[in-house]
Amino acid sequence: MIVRQAVVEDAVQIAVVMENAEASGWMLFNPGERNIEESRIQQLIQQLVEAPKASFFVAVEQGDILGYAIIRGEHLQRTSHRAAVMLGVHDASRGKGVGTQLFDAMIAWAKEFSIHRLELTVIEHNMQAIHLYKKMGFEVEGIKKDSLKIDESYVNEVYMSKML
């Protein structure tokens, strides 16, 4: 498996992974809620790759995209040291090191761009993701109570960060 920067030609496969990840119920978007048309994903890739403090990574094995990671840095002087990260892995590839390798790529990129703080949020009962984030050195900073409404139930969101 390799991790590399996404290119616009990856859009169709990225859309498949996004759709699968959202179907898991662990993502911010409900299934079908996000516009994952090929042209929209191509636009997102282009925007992130060209941005001065953002990137879009994909994990690829034998030509198949197994997962993706997005990192977006801040631009204001007082917050320019931090970046938000987001990860999505196809359910067939979870627990196989894909997330770890995507995080390794994001962390290396962040260090190169003098990012000091990585931030993310995760649904409180997504224990597999929380385990990965802790393994990668993220720490829980707090809980945003009843932050999300999933299937008519209020769910807490966990705020996590990692200092580089």
pLDDT at residue 30 is higher than 70: no
Q: What is the DSSP letter of 30?
A: P
pLDDT at 58: 98
pLDDT in tens, 56-114: 999 999 999 999 999 999 989 999 999 999 999 999 999 899 999 999 999 999 999 99
pLDDT in tens, 98-154: 999 999 999 999 999 999 999 999 999 999 999 999 999 999 999 999 999 988 999
The CATH-assigned architecture of domain 2-115 is 3-Layer(aba) Sandwich (3.40)
Take residue 42 and report the two structure tokens written for it: 């191509």
Parallel/antiparallel/unpaired status of strands 82-89 and 54-61: unpaired
Distance CA 65, CA 158 (A): 28
pLDDT at 36: 77
pLDDT at 33: 67
Among residues 76, 70, 82, 73, the alpha carbon closest in space to that of 53 is found at 73
Residue range 23-52: mean pLDDT, rounded = 81
Q: What's the pLDDT band for 49 if we cut at 50, 70, 90?
A: confident
